[in-house]
Structure 1
Amino acid sequence: MSHLIPSGHRRPLAARPAPLRLAVPGFAHPLVAPAEWGGLQRAGLPLDWVTLGSTALRESDGVTGGPGARQDPYWLAAVVPLRTAGVRVLGHLDLAHGARPFGELLSDAQRFLNWYRVDGFLLARCPADAEALPEVRRVAGALRTVLERAHLVLAQGTHPSPGYAEVADQLVTFAGPWSGYRWSRAAEWTADHPPERFCHLVHGVPRSHLQEALRVARWQGAGTIYFTDRTDHGAVDPWESLPGYWDEIVSAIGPGLSE
């Protein structure tokens, strides 16, 4: 369905031979979602990264996610097998659109590292405008001081100012519903970067449109995706549980598959 995205906003498939990989933006607490966390331990899953702490914790100051006040043995039990299998585990840091104090962010990062030995951080609600870039660059530099080879993902959920591509390992350039994703366009500057630099998180994708969604991701140059049929109706967090077609996604983007 090439009419969805004008040719000026997509790359030729031949320029993106790497297969898609999966990101997990964050399940509910392991006590609430044991099947979800257990399912990630299956051998051979094309996982890029898994986020810890993004949906289970709600702090009184309006900040979502975080490491909590003390080490949680259930989180630890969920994380250890993933790290042993070589899957990146990221700590969820909420930038609150630039409102979080610098010291709080570093404190959360250190606790994630001390308690769960995370491999990097997902910076949720990250600013996207050029004016905020120096402060985000400062935060990213400090996180790489705390953890030298930290894998950093900036989760803006939209295409940010191009300078952000130099700050992090990966940008989440779309996070939202299928109704918006199927008509979305990639910013032209993204064509200067390889697919592994971009991630798309899409909820409300019907099973009947799964293959179409995968084509949109490839056309737009995303190397990492998470699609789910769960929706955000009411107070429901669409990322808290596995999609009903999880096995289909795994099969569709598994190693060796090409389109």
Structure 2
Amino acid sequence: MTTSSCSSRSSLLVPFYEHPADRPEDWAAVVAAAPALYGVVLNPASGAGRSADPAFAELAGRLRAAGVRVLGYADTDYGRRPHAEVVSDLVRHRDWYAADGAFLDQVPTEPSALPHYRRLVVSARAAGLRTLVLNHGAHPAPGYEALADLLVTFEGPWDSYRHLDLPVADHYCHLVYAAPADVRPATPVHCAVPGTGAHPWGTLPHTLEPTR
């Protein structure tokens, strides 16, 4: 069972999908936790959106000033979203929010999609995005390991996670929701939040929750 074992190099990857104007105290807590963070996934509108959002631009500046990686969110729809659309999303994240990395969501696990994702990774790196995270949500084919800095090899609820014996490596990340307060996933980079339902990533990890 992968539960609370964690290395001393533990750090948080935070996918917090809330607007800064709606949750200023929560975002302040994220910025304040900078030394404990691997990075923050910035997701203004299921991607960069159609125009720059000044509130997210200001937040991204605060994160960068605190030394936090800013990872622009882009949905790849398991390889179905066209290459040009994904790259355009990443470039907007770079130009509008000075993102220095990318979080590619809904990445398949099958080796047949590797050529598509190799092209995406080459384009992302050419655009200056230094840190790349692929969110498979499950353990992928070995070829993906050479493409990115971090692979999300589990995303799901605690009730499923606690029964699994998953591979652990420095470049793997587990994202767990519906998690009790004392849960810390097994991978060095991780995130466990209390949120449930269709939008669990609208909640912060227990350790980052501000005092109300």
CA distance in 2, matches of 1:66, 1:145: 19
- Per the TM alignment, residue 242 of structure 1 is displaced from its structure 2 partner at its CA by 2.0
Superposed, which structure 2 residues align to 1:1-259 within 5 Å? Answer: 4=1, 18-42=8-32, 45-53=35-43, 56-57=44-45, 65-147=46-128, 150-187=130-167, 194-195=169-170, 197-207=171-181, 210=182, 213-214=183-184, 217-218=185-186, 222-232=187-197, 235=198, 237-243=199-205, 245-247=206-208
SS in 2 for 1:239: helix
Check whether the contact 1:95–1:124 (CA below 8 A) recurs between aligned residues. Answer: yes
Answer whether contact 2:194 2:203 (CA < 8 A) is retained.
no
Q: Tell me, what secondary structure is at the counterpart of 1:40?
A: helix
The gaps in structure 2 that reach 5 residues or longer are: none
The alpha carbon displacement at 1:150 in A equals 1.7
Distance 1:127 1:77 in 2: 33
Distance in 1, Cα, partners of 2:117 & 2:160: 27
Cα distance in structure 2, aligned partners of 1:44 and 1:29: 19
Displacement of 1:228 in angstroms is: 1.1
SS at match of 1:201: strand
Letter in 2 for 1:182: R
Answer yes or no: is the 8 Å Cα contact 1:38–1:78 preserved in 2: no
Taking the aligned partners of 2:87 and 2:172, their CA distance within structure 1 comes to 25
Give the letter aligned to residue 241 of structure 1: T
- Structure 1 counterpart SS, 2:31: coil
Residues matched between the structures, number: 207
Query: Which shows bigger deviation, 222-231 or 164-173?
Result: 222-231
Q: Name the CA distance, whole Å, in 2 between partners of 1:247 and 1:127.
A: 30
Runs of at least 4 residues off by over 4 Å: none
CA distance in 2, matches of 1:144, 1:247: 31
1:43 Cα offset (Å): 5.4
CA distance in 1, matches of 2:126, 2:179: 39
After superposition, the Cα gap between the structure-2 partners of 1:21 and 1:39, relative to the gap in structure 1 and judged at 3 Å, is same
Q: Is the 8 A contact 1:27 1:37 kept in 2?
A: no
Q: Would you say the 8 A contact 2:153–2:173 is kept in 1? A: yes
TM-score (norm 1): 0.75
Q: Output the TM-score relative to the length of structure 2.
A: 0.90
CA contact (8 A) 1:27 1:36 kept: no
CA distance in 2, matches of 1:105, 1:178: 30
Q: Which has the larger radius of gyration?
A: 1
Alpha-carbon contact 2:79-2:107 (below 8 Å) kept: yes
Identity of aligned residues (%): 37
Shift of 1:17: 5.0
